Amino acid sequence: MFTKYSVLWVAFIVISVNAQESTSLNPSQFIKIGKGSYYIETVSRKNWFAAYESCRQMKASLIAFESLEEWKLVNQYLRDMQIYRKYWTAGTDWAEQGKHVWFSNGQPLSLDIWRAGEPNNYNGDEHCDEAGPALAE
C-alpha cells in the first residue's frame, strides 16, 4: 500500500517528497494538506542532491506534483503559514538538456506551474527545478 507523504525543508529552500509507507517515517510529524501528508522542516538547508539523499534515506523521493490542485494546496498552505521560501521538486533535465521530467518517475513535467520562461537553465547551470509559494499564482 502506498501513502503519500511529503517532506518540506524550509530555510532558504523547501523540499517535498512522496513516500511509500515506511517505518522510517513518523506520521504524527506530518501535516495533512488535501489528500497528502506533508512534513515541514524549518531549519535544514540542502542542495538538490542532499535533499534527494535525505529523502532516499527515508525511503522517499522528491515530490512530483500529480495535479495542479496538489501544487496549489501545498503552496497556499505555505503562504498561509507565511513561509515564502523556495523548495526543490523532483523536476530535472539531467537526462536530456531542456527536457524536464520528474526524476522520481521519469514522467514529463506536464503541469503549468512555472513562471514565464522557467525553467530556463540559467547560466547553463540549472538542472534541478524549484518552486515556491512566492512563485505561485
pLDDT at 30: 74
Q: Give mean pLDDT, residues 60-74.
A: 86
Band (pLDDT 50/70/90 cuts) for residue 8 is low
Q: What's the pLDDT tens digit per position in 25-59?
A: 566 667 888 888 777 766 788 888 988 888 788 77
Q: Are strands 5-9 and 13-15 parallel, antiparallel or unpaired?
A: unpaired
Is 55 buried (19+), middle (13-18) or exposed (0-12) by CB count in 10 A?
buried
Give the separation between CA 21 and CA 91, rounded to whole angstroms: 22
Model confidence at 64, pLDDT cuts 50, 70, 90, reads: confident
From CA 59, how far away is CA 79, in angstroms rounded? 28
Asked which of 11-15, 25-29, 67-71, 93-97 is least confident by mean pLDDT, the reply is 11-15
d(CA 87, CA 61): 14
Domains and CATH numbers, the chain: 5-131 (3.10.100.10)
Q: For residue range 83-125, what is the model confidence (pLDDT) as tens digits?
A: 888 888 889 998 988 889 999 889 998 888 888 888 888 887 8
Q: What is the mean pLDDT of residues 7-16?
A: 44
- List, in order, residues 6 or more apart from 27 with CB less than 8 Å away: 5, 37
SS3 state of residue 59: coil
